[in-house]
Structure 1
Amino acid sequence: MIYEFKLPDIGEGLHEAEIIRWLVREGDVVNADQPIAEIQTDKAMVEMTTPVAGKVVALAGPEGATVKVGEPLIVVETEAAVAGEAAPTEDSVREPVPAAHGEAPRPARKRAIAAPSVRKRARELGVPIDEVEGTGEGGRVTLADLERYVREREAAATVAARDEAKKDALPTGGAAGGRQASIATWTSIAGLDALFEEEERIPLRGLRKKIAEKMVKSVYTAPHATGMDEIDVTKLVEIRKSLASELAKEQIKLTYLPFIIKAVTRALKEYPMFNASLDEETNEIVLKKRYHIGIATATKAGLLVPVIRDADQKSIRELAVEIAELSEKAHRQALRLKELQGSTFTITSTGAGGGWFAKPIINYPEVAIFGAHAIKRKPVVIDDEIVIRDMMGISLTFDHRVIDGEPAGRFMRTVAHYLSHPEVLLLDVR
C-alpha cells in the first residue's frame, strides 16, 4: 500500500517549509517514527518523522526545495506491501539499493545519531556527518566529534597538498631546472589562491533565508516610520547595579532588558494601539489583550525572536530568569516552536557595543518595534548646568497605516519616563 506523508501545519500560520537535509534516501526501509528530514519553517528548524514503516519510494525534492503544507513530503510503500523486508534499526548498516540501468550501486551506509543542532553545524562545516565517529552516549555524534573530524581532515589535506607540491617541483632538467619548476609550481599555487580569495558564495538557505523573506515582507507591506530619542537612565544604571549583586548570589544575571520589558508593557497598556496587528483581509485593527513580548536575539545561525508570554504579569526577577533560559536555548538552537510564536510586540537592541541609534524593522504582522541601544556617559544640561549622566539611545519603528507620529511620540515619552524613574517599575511585584 502506498502512503503519502503530507507536510502538516506544525506551526502558527505555517504555509510552507524548506527541506534542509534528507535523513533517508529513495529505497531506504524506515521504521515508524524514524526521523526522515530536517525542515526549516518561518520560526525554527524541525526534525520530521514518518508515521508509518516501509520502503521510501519518493521524496518531495532535493535539499533546498520548498514544500507547501498539504503537499507530500515523502511517499512510503508500507510494511504490508513489502512484507518480509526487515526494517533496520537506527544503528544498523543499510544494505545497498539495487541500481537502476546505467546507475552505479550506492554503497551501504550507517545513519549517524545526532541532534538537529549538530547536524546543522555539520552542514555549515561541509562535514558528511554519517562519516563521523560519535563518542557520545550510544554512539551519538557531538560538536566535539565534528571539530575533531574537521581538524583531522584539514591536517590530511595539508599533508596531501605538500606532498603533491613537492612531487610537481621535482627537478626535470638539472639543478636549475628543478629551481625553475619549484618557482613555477608555487607561483601557480599562489595565483590560484589569490583567484579563489576574491569572493565567496554562501547559499541563502535555512534560517537566513526565512529571515530575509520575513524582512522583505515586513518592509514592502507595512510603511515604516521611525522615531529616535535619548533618555537619562542614570537611576536605572544605579538600581540595576545594586540588584544585580543581590541576584548574582542566586546565580541570576540581571541585565537592563527586564526593566525595558516592564516599561514597554506599561506603555502598551496606556496605548493599546501598539499591541496590535492589522487584518488586511477584513480591514480591521486587532487589539491584543495579552502582552507577549518578543525578544530579538542574535545567534550564530541568525536572528531568533523567543517570546516571553504574559510579560506584564512577571516580576523583574522572573523576567531575568526567563530571559536567561530563552537566550541559552536560542544559542543552542533548542527553542521549541511555541517559544517562538505568538508575540504581540517586539523589543530589539544593537547591544552594548552597538550604535547609538538604529531603525528596527517591524516583526510583521505586529505594528511596532522598540529598539534599546547603547548606554553612554555624556554631558547634558540640567538646570542650566552641564552634568555627566548615563544616556540611552532609543528608537521606535511603527506601521504608519495604523499609528501616526504624534501617538508614537507619546508612547516613546511614556517608556522614557518609566526608564528614567525605574523605582516605579519595582512596584510591579507580579
Structure 2
Amino acid sequence: MARFTFRLPDIGEGIAEAEIVAWHVKVGERVEEDQQVADMMTDKATVEMESPVSGVVVALAGEVGDQVAIGSALMVVETDDAGEDTPVEAETPGVEEGVEPSPLPAREGPGVGGERSEPPAPEAKPTPSASAPTPDPSLAGRGEERILASPAVRARAADLGVDLAQVKPAEGDRIRHADLDAYLRYGSGQGYHAPHASRARDDQPIKVIGMRRRIAENMAASKRAIPHFTYVDELDVTALEAMRGDLNAHRGQRPKLTMLPFLIVALCRALPGFPMLNARYDDEAGVVTRHGRVHLGMATQTDAGLMVPVIRDAQDRNVWQLAAEITRLAEAARIGKAKSEELSGSTLTVTSLGPLGGIATTPVINRPEVAIIGPNKIVERPVFRGDEVVRAKLMNLSISCDHRVVDGWDAASFVQAVKKLVETPVLLFAD
C-alpha cells in the first residue's frame, strides 16, 4: 500500500484559491480513477475535481465552505500500489486525517444558500472490491430500475415528495426540471403532497457558501463602493411586439424571439453616443476604460444562485444570433457548464425578471461596470394618441449608474435614445 496526496491543481489564470462547495466522497470510502470527488468554486466558475488514482480515502481538506490554496492537499488516498508513502503531515497542512467533512444540510427548496444538496442517501452498503466498477453518481434506482437525473432535480423531487420513477423524460433518458414541472402539472400527482399554508416548519440554519457567498460579497462591495442612482422611463412597445410576432410566425428553424434580443440591438445602437456607459471603473487606479465593443452580461438565475454569462461582441449580432446565444449561455449557466471565460469580462449588464419584472426595479451594478439595465414586464393599458384613447403595450426600463462616472443627464439621454429605437422598431434594422 502507498499513500497519494492529491493537490488542488491550477484551475484558472490568476486563481490563488478555491472554495469547497461539495464533497462527493467520505473518509473510508473507495474512489476509482477519474471519479468525481469534489466541486470547487473560484471567482469565475465551479470546477469538478476528479481523482487521479484509485484507492481508499484517508483524509480530506476541510469542510464545505473552506478555502483551499492552489497546490495544497485536497485529498489523501491509500492506493493499491506498493511503494513508499507520500509524506502527508509535513506537506499537507490543514488536512485532518480520518476526519469526515460535515454533511451538507438538507435544504427546504431549490437553490437555497447556493448549496448543491442531494436527497437522503440510501442505506450503507458494503464497500465494493477493487475490481468492482464505481456506480455513476448521476444514476439512482430501486431494484433493476435506473433513473438519470441531476442532483438539483433529485433534491427538488425529494422536497416535493415526488417519486422520480413516475416521471417520464420528454427527451432521452435524463429527467430534467421541465419533466418534473410537467408531471406536477399534468401527471397523476401520486406521491406529490402540496404543502399546507398552516403547516409549521422548523428553523434551519443555512451556511452561506459557494455561489451565494460570492453574490453576497460582490453585491456588498458594489453597494459600499458605488454611489448608485436609478432612472426609470416608460416605453411603448406596441409596434415592436407586433413586429416580434410577425418574425416569430415566419422564423422557420431559427430560435424563437423574446423581447431581449431587440432590446440588446437597441442598446448597442445607442451606446456609441454614450461611451461613458459601456465602461469599467478601476477605482484603485483611478482609471475609467470606455470599451469600443459591447460584451453584454446577462444576469441569469440558476439553482446555485445568480450568474452573469457574457454575450461577446453583442454589437455585431442580429436578433436571431442574439436569441441563439442567449439560449445557449442561459442553459450552460443553469446546468453548471458555463466556461470561466463565458462568465467574465462584461462591459455592461442587463438584468430582467421577464413576466415577474414588476413596475420598476433598482438593480445593483455589476462591479467594476458603471451601469446596469433592467427591463420590466410588459403591461397593456389605455393611452392617449391625439384625441383618441387606444390600447398600448407599455414597458418600464430602469437603469442604475455609478454617479462617480455617469451623470443623471447622460443616463436619461441614453434611455431616451433607446426609447426612440424601441418605439420605432424599423430603426433597429436600418443601416
Name which of 5, 8, 25 aligns with 2:7. Answer: 5
Task: Supply the AA of the counterpart residue of 1:47.
Answer: E
Residue 33 of structure 1: CA displacement? Answer: 4.8
Question: In structure 2, how many angstroms separate the alpha carbons of the residues matched to 1:27 and 1:198?
Answer: 32
Question: In structure 1, how many angstroms separate the alpha carbons of the residues matched to 2:356 and 2:201?
Answer: 30
Q: 1:14 to 1:394 in 2, by over 3 A?
A: farther
Q: 1:389 to 1:397 in 2, by over 3 A?
A: same
Q: Is contact 2:4–2:85 with CA below 8 Å preserved after alignment?
A: no
State how 1:301-320 maps to structure 2 within 5 Å: 301-320=304-323
How many residue pairs match? The answer is 358
Task: Supply the AA of the counterpart residue of 1:35.
Answer: Q
Residue 367 of structure 1: CA displacement? Answer: 0.9
Residue 29 of structure 1: CA displacement? Answer: 6.9
Name which of 222, 228, 249 aligns with 1:224. Answer: 228
Q: Is contact 1:31–1:53 with CA below 8 Å preserved after alignment?
A: yes
Question: In structure 1, how many angstroms separate the alpha carbons of the residues matched to 2:69 and 2:388?
Answer: 63
Length-normalised TM-score, structure 1: 0.71
Question: In structure 1, how many angstroms separate the alpha carbons of the residues matched to 2:381 and 2:14?
Answer: 46
- 1:142 and 2:143 matched: no
- 1:341 and 2:344 matched: yes
Residue 257 of structure 1: CA displacement? Answer: 0.6
- 1:325 and 2:328 matched: yes
- 1:127 and 2:120 matched: yes
Task: Supply the AA of the counterpart residue of 1:62.
Answer: E
Residue 377 of structure 1: CA displacement? Answer: 1.7
Task: Supply the AA of the counterpart residue of 1:327.
Answer: A
Q: 1:384 to 1:148 in 2, by over 3 A?
A: closer
Aligned equivalent of 1:37: 38
Q: 1:343 to 1:147 in 2, by over 3 A?
A: closer
Q: 1:287 to 1:24 in 2, by over 3 A?
A: same
Q: Is contact 1:122–1:128 with CA below 8 Å preserved after alignment?
A: no
Q: 1:399 to 1:213 in 2, by over 3 A?
A: same
**Secondary structure in 1 aligned to 2:356?**
coil
Residue 407 of structure 1: CA displacement? Answer: 0.8
Question: In structure 2, how many angstroms separate the alpha carbons of the residues matched to 1:121 and 1:220?
Answer: 23
Length-normalised TM-score, structure 2: 0.70
- 1:408 and 2:377 matched: no
Q: Is contact 2:296–2:347 with CA below 8 Å preserved after alignment?
A: yes
Q: 1:239 to 1:65 in 2, by over 3 A?
A: same
Cα RMSD between the aligned structures?
A: 4.0
Question: In structure 1, how many angstroms separate the alpha carbons of the residues matched to 2:115 and 2:202?
Answer: 25
- 1:399 and 2:398 matched: no
**Secondary structure in 1 aligned to 2:399?**
strand
Question: In structure 2, how many angstroms separate the alpha carbons of the residues matched to 1:7 and 1:129?
Answer: 32
User: Which structure features the higher share of helix residues?
Assistant: 1
Q: 1:375 to 1:13 in 2, by over 3 A?
A: farther
Task: Supply the AA of the counterpart residue of 1:38.
Answer: D
Q: Which runs of 5+ in 2 are unaligned?
A: 87-96, 101-109, 125-136, 164-197
Q: Which runs of 5+ in 1 are unaligned?
A: 86-98, 105-116, 156-193
- Write out per-residue CA displacement over residues 239-282 of structure 1, whole angstroms, 9 at most, x where no aligned residue: 111101111x3162110110011111122222111111111232
**Secondary structure in 2 aligned to 1:278?**
strand
Question: In structure 1, how many angstroms separate the alpha carbons of the residues matched to 2:61 and 2:400?
Answer: 40
Name which of 370, 383, 386 aligns with 1:367. Answer: 370
Q: Is contact 1:291–1:312 with CA below 8 Å preserved after alignment?
A: yes
Q: Is contact 1:253–1:324 with CA below 8 Å preserved after alignment?
A: no
- 1:288 and 2:291 matched: yes
Q: 1:277 to 1:423 in 2, by over 3 A?
A: same
Name which of 352, 357, 365 aligns with 2:355. Answer: 352
Q: 1:36 to 1:353 in 2, by over 3 A?
A: closer
**Secondary structure in 1 aligned to 2:245?**
helix
**Secondary structure in 1 aligned to 2:140?**
coil
Identity score, percent: 39
Q: Is contact 1:27–1:56 with CA below 8 Å preserved after alignment?
A: yes
Question: In structure 2, how many angstroms separate the alpha carbons of the residues matched to 1:273 and 1:71?
Answer: 43
Task: Supply the AA of the counterpart residue of 1:73.
Answer: L
- Write out per-residue CA displacement over residues 329-388 of structure 1, whole angstroms, 9 at most, x where no aligned residue: 333333222222221111111322331101011111111001111111222333354433
- 1:297 and 2:300 matched: yes
Task: Supply the AA of the counterpart residue of 1:214.
Answer: N
Q: 1:225 to 1:7 in 2, by over 3 A?
A: farther
Residue 304 of structure 1: CA displacement? Answer: 2.0
Residue 404 of structure 1: CA displacement? Answer: 1.2
**Secondary structure in 1 aligned to 2:421?**
helix
Aligned equivalent of 1:213: 217
Aligned equivalent of 1:177: none
Residue 419 of structure 1: CA displacement? Answer: 1.0
Q: Is contact 1:292–1:343 with CA below 8 Å preserved after alignment?
A: yes
Aligned equivalent of 1:165: none
Task: Supply the AA of the counterpart residue of 1:223.
Answer: P
Q: Which moved more, 1:390-399 or 1:319-328?
A: 319-328
Task: Supply the AA of the counterpart residue of 2:7.
Answer: F
Q: Is contact 1:8–1:70 with CA below 8 Å preserved after alignment?
A: yes
Task: Supply the AA of the counterpart residue of 2:240.
Answer: L
Q: Is contact 1:326–1:335 with CA below 8 Å preserved after alignment?
A: yes
Q: 1:195 to 1:375 in 2, by over 3 A?
A: closer
Question: In structure 1, how many angstroms separate the alpha carbons of the residues matched to 2:156 and 2:387?
Answer: 63
**Secondary structure in 1 aligned to 2:294?**
coil
**Secondary structure in 2 aligned to 1:272?**
coil
Question: In structure 1, how many angstroms separate the alpha carbons of the residues matched to 2:27 and 2:363?
Answer: 45
Q: 1:339 to 1:148 in 2, by over 3 A?
A: closer
Task: Supply the AA of the counterpart residue of 1:5.
Answer: R
**Secondary structure in 1 aligned to 2:276?**
helix
